Amino acid sequence: RKEVEQDPGPFNVPEGATVAFNCTYSNSASQSFFWYRQDCRKEPKLLMSVYSSGNEDGRFTAQLNRASQYISLLIRDSKLSDSATYLCVVNEGVRGYSTLTFGKGTMLLVSP
């Protein structure tokens, strides 16, 4: 079965903390990888793509290990506004269009 599995959460952290989310995927043929953010009762929004070399966007760092089929997201200096559910997303993409498989998401709660 093709799956994307994430830490169940929720993660409760104080402002300023560093928090890391982990994700594993089962389909070794997966082509591309993303983290989406979803606020309560809102639609998912792309946070960042994840590249094999690792990539950073401000306070957010994503890592991919294809050999271990593992993806991570690191958030530094957490803000209250970072509170949301973070979805790990894998694109099998073999048909020339997106076949996205979403994890269940990990909820982050940042407190003052």
Partner 1 sequence: DTGVSQDPRHKITKRGQNVTFRCDPISEHNRLYWYRQTLGQGPEFLTYFQNEAQLEKSRLLSDRFSAERPKGSFSTLEIQRTEQGDSAMYLCASSPKGTGRNEKLFFGSGTQLSVL
Q: Which residues bind partner 1 (CB under 8 A)?
A: 4, 31-32, 41-46, 49, 87, 89, 91, 93, 95, 97-105
**Please, which residue, 22 or 32, has the CB nearer to partner 1?**
32
76/91 with CB nearer partner 1: 91
- Which CB, 16 or 51, lies closer to partner 1? 51
Alpha carbons 101 and 24: distance in angstroms, whole number: 12
Amino acid (one-letter) located at 46: L
- Work out the number of other CB atoms within 10 angstroms of the CB of residue 17: 15
To the nearest whole angstrom, how small is the minimum distance from the Cβ of residue 101 to partner 1? 8
Q: How far is the CB of 20 from partner 1 (least distance, A)?
A: 19
Query: Smallest distance from the beta carbon of 90 to partner 1, in angstroms?
Result: 11
We find the least distance from the C-beta atom of residue 5 to partner 1, in angstroms, to be 11
Which CB, 44 or 78, lies closer to partner 1? 44
Non-local (6+) Cβ contacts of 60 within 8 A are 35, 47, 48, 73, 74, 75, 76
Can you tell me the distance from the alpha carbon of 21 to that of 6, in angstroms, rounded to the nearest whole number? 8
Tokens representing residue 4 in the block: 């994307």
